[in-house]
Amino acid sequence: MTTPSFPPRNEPNLFWLLAISLALHMLVFVLFSGVLSGGKQHERRPVYYVDLTKMPVLNPQAGRPDGGPAPKAKAAAKPTAPAQVSQPTPQPAPEPKPSESKPTQVASKPTTPQPTATPQPTSTKPGLKPAKQDAKPSDSAPSGYQSVQEKMAAMRQSQQRAQELAALKGKIAALSGDDTSGSGSGAPLGMPDGTGDEIGVDQQTWLQAFYKENWSLSKYQVTRRDLQATVQVTYSADGTLTNYRFIDSSGDAAFDDSLKKTILKTKTLPFKPGRTLQFDVVFNLKDLMD
């Protein structure tokens, strides 16, 4: 008889089990911390600066909600404007009439900003024409061919100036933010995700900007800066506030009250949406205070 053999036990290594345990904890942490679903939950509309004097549209076109050109475009537009204004300066200085003072005024104006300079070339036109007409009788024997040529040159000049004037007017309108045609120097007025053909921002963006404009709360009334609340607002087709409710309260009574007051300021919209409007508005204290 021999002594029985017994194989060594293959008990699991505690180190590997610790690694498994760590992986399990990390999985639980990831699932419950909202990292996976965080992108969907915290997806918020960016805060746009909207011109509230322009009413929103139903199907906004693709463009920028602030409507105006980008700051870079503005900076680039400024030096070009005087250059274009200065163009007419050599032209309205005809040699035969050095006595006229108006062309010199135009020549001196290009240094000043564009809008005041632009009317100047037009004022020179009537001045030039009578001068030429006056010159005719003074010349004793001008040929008919020469006079026709001068007339044609004057006409071309006036046409050219009219074109330049129109272009300048367009640029000035674009700079002042009145360009709603989309052909200005900046991006056209619309929404970044716009697919429609109407010029303007959508109703939700407009309303958010309106709420921001009308919101007020003293910084001494809130104890924290990281407050955020989500409110669902509903407007009827004729623009009347029918319902609002807090989906997520901020937990701060003063902040929530300020939001209620802001929403109640818009019991009736200044425009008619044409359909029932219902959307969630995220009020972030940091955004509102900016």
The residues binding another protein (CB under 8 A) are 1-12, 14, 17-18, 20-22, 24-25, 33-34, 223-224, 251-254
For the record, the structure tokens of 77 come out as 């537009």
Question: Please, which residue, 21 or 176, has the CB nearer to another protein?
Answer: 21
In the complex with another protein, the residue whose CB is nearer, 5 or 138, is 5
- Closer residue to another protein, CB minimum distance, 52 or 254: 254
Q: List the one residue out of 92, 155, 100 whose CA is nearest residue 147.
A: 155
Closest to another protein by CB, 17 vs 58, is 17
Least separation in angstroms between CB 217 and another protein = 13
CB of 42 to another protein, least distance (A): 12
Q: Least distance to another protein from the beta carbon of 222, Å?
A: 8
Q: Tokens for 173, please give them.
A: 């309108």
CB 31 to another protein: min, Å: 12
Tell me how far, at minimum, the Cβ of 212 lies from another protein, in Å. 22
Please identify, using beta-carbon distances, which residue of 154 and 254 lies nearer to another protein: 254
